[in-house]
Amino acid sequence: MALAMAPPALADENLPAPVQALAKQGIEIHERFDAPSGLTGFGASSPQGEEMAAYLTPDGDHVVVGTLMDAEGNDLTEPELDEHVRAPLEAKTWSLLEDSHWIQDGDKDAPRIIYTFTDPNCPYCQQLWDASRPWVEAGKVQMRHIMVGILAADSPAKAATILASDDPSATLRNQKQGEAVTPSAQPQKFEEQVYANNQLFEGLGLYATPTSAYQRETDGGSTRIKRVQGMPADDALVKMMGSEKPQ
């Protein structure tokens, strides 16, 4: 989703001294990998989220940060960054989404799950709700609405009110169908849930609602995350939902 929230770093005590020196400068060292010519590679990222690779020399005394090229000019670093920085980041991100405070919308056994950050005052969230109905009502997609409060002064209170209701799924559905939500003070638990969702939203480097995420299969057979920021266009919506619009 973004490198603002980095995957777990390797413990410094497990790193060779030159790589430890990078870590002390604030570089996150994520995963070790084999590299050509006796080099040992390390997937890494800067505090600003810039991806990089560090290559330890065979003698263990030096480390080079940069792109490794072969005699034909092929970039050997890019696929390693994808596997050893982006992939673990995305796996961690999906786990964070699973553990967030979301409201189920659709069949819990639907074959496709989509997480979407939803603000009660967001008109584009309303558009996504309306556009997703054919897939949700056909049992093909389960939307999981991570309730945030970022757009208006009463957004946090509205989000907390929906989460705290006896049936959050029904309350959210009624709100999307035009029923007003009157914000009111809620138990601290639910206010903290909205705050935690807001922190997750910001920690992932997001800036617009809705932002949605779903899992996709790559050509190589691995599972990765696709992020869709804002209300998707028709073709992007079909890709996100995973099938043509049900009739």
Query: What is the average per-residue pLDDT within 166-184?
Result: 95
Which tens digit of pLDDT belongs to each residue from 184-227?
889 999 999 999 999 999 988 899 999 999 998 877 777 889 99
Contact in structure between 166 and 126 (CB atoms under 8 Å) = no
* Nearest Cα to Cα of residue 214 among 159, 144, 132: 144
pLDDT in tens, 4-15: 444 455 656 679
pLDDT in the model for residue 220: 72
Q: What is the mean pLDDT of residues 63-81?
A: 95
Question: What does the block give as tokens for 24?
Answer: 């002390």
Give the highest mean pLDDT range of 87-101, 157-171, 216-230: 157-171
d(CA 150, CA 121): 9
Q: Determine the pLDDT at residue 13.
A: 63
Tokens (6 digits) for 143: 């939307």
Domains of the chain, earliest start first: 12-93 (3.10.450.70), 100-241 (3.40.30.10)
- CA gap 183, 164 in Å, rounded: 11
User: CA neighbours within 13 Å on the CB side: how many for 29?
Assistant: 26
Half-sphere exposure of 12 (CA within 13 A, CB side): 11
* pLDDT score of 163: 98
53-62, 85-94, 235-244: least confident range = 85-94
Buried b (16+ CB within 10 A) or exposed e, 193-230: bbbebbebbeebebeebbbbbbeeeeeeeeeebebbee
Residue entry with tokens 């999906």? 94
Phi, psi (degrees; rounded to nearest 5) at 185: -65, 135
Predicted TM-score (pTM) of this structure? 0.84
Phi, psi of 151 (to 5 degrees): -90, -30
Identify the helix (H) or strand (E) that includes residue 121. none
Phi and psi angles of residue 104, each rounded to the nearest 5 degrees, phi first: -75, 135
HSE-up of 140 (CA within 13 Å, CB side)? 15
Mean pLDDT computed over 226-238: 95
